[in-house]
Amino acid sequence: MKKILIGMFIVAALSACGISPTGAPPLPTPEVESITSTATESVAVSTIPVSKSDFFTQKGIELPSPACSALTQEQTEGPYYTPNTPERNSLLEEGMPGTRLVLVGYVLDQNCQPLANAWLDFWQADANGDYDNAGYRLRGHQFTDAQGRYYLETILPGLYSSRPIEHIHVKVRPEGGAEITSQLYFPEQPIDGLTISIEDRGEYLVGYFNFVVQK
Ligand code: FE
């Protein structure tokens, strides 16, 4: 009986200190954007921490729940790939002509689970259909965030004579997995399984595309 009482006392003392009796540290309180409420409003509080600087929040972009039917089809690299691109989410430059496009989506594994820290490398032609083969204009790589999301600010690629179909080249590599190379297309000239869904926001387009890769 004495042992039981001592045990109960220790558990109570640890709990009072914020220490779990199992030794595990207490869970941190998630950072959630403060929401101003009035007595008449019902408030939904997200359980996922959302930063005020989050690009998706700023743009009011909500990614649809991912649906996966097959792995993303691979396509040829083509002649214009340049390795060692700068890491960046925006390929836009001052005065760059072209229709603004924000490309967003998830990188998912074969079980449709989002993959954080997956590497993506994009390259494309400018509005006139020209590639920068000397520098890194309209080229850049990035990594998916903790939720497996990527975003790319760019322009619609122009057509070039040898390839009269709008496309963006991309390489994707899950952390610790194999790299794939492919190309994305647009609804005017769709390619099965590789076509971006477009939402026209007037000042710019939002394009949605999820990659599904073997992890
Ligand atoms: Fe190309």
Q: Give the Å distance between the CA of 157 and the centre of ligand 1.
A: 9
| Cβ-Cβ contacts under 8 Å for 171 (sequence gap 6 or more) | 77, 81, 119, 120, 121, 179, 180, 181, 182
Q: Give the Å distance between the CA of 124 and the centre of ligand 1.
A: 6
Q: Give the Å distance between the CA of 212 and the centre of ligand 1.
A: 21
Q: Give the Å distance between the CA of 130 and the centre of ligand 1.
A: 9
Q: What is the pLDDT of residues 161-174, one digit of tens each?
A: 889 999 999 999 99
The residue ranking higher by pLDDT, 17 or 196, is 196
| Cβ-Cβ contacts under 8 Å for 93 (sequence gap 6 or more) | 137
- 149/199 Cα distance (integer angstroms): 18
Q: Which two tokens stand for residue 187?
A: 């609804």
- Sorted by where each starts, the structural domains of the chain and their CATH numbers stand as 48-215 (2.60.130.10)
The residue ranking higher by pLDDT, 201 or 18, is 201
pTM: 0.76
Q: What is the model's pLDDT at position 49?
A: 53
The answer to whether residues 102 and 158 touch, using CB atoms and an 8 Å cutoff, is: no
Q: Give the Å distance between the CA of 191 and the centre of ligand 1.
A: 14
Q: What is the pLDDT of residues 101-157, one digit of tens each?
A: 999 999 999 999 999 999 999 999 999 999 999 999 999 999 999 999 999 999 999
- 89/94 Cα distance (integer angstroms): 15
Q: Give the Å distance between the CA of 162 and the centre of ligand 1.
A: 9
Q: What is the model's pLDDT at position 134?
A: 98
Q: What is the model's pLDDT at position 47?
A: 47
- Only one residue has tokens 């991309």, namely 170
Question: Which residue in 197, 213, 184, 195 sits closest to 71, CA to CA?
Answer: 213
Split at pLDDT 50, 70, 90, the class of 185 is: very high
Share of the chain above pLDDT 90, in %: 72
Q: Give the Å distance between the CA of 16 and the centre of ligand 1.
A: 63
- 176/111 Cα distance (integer angstroms): 16
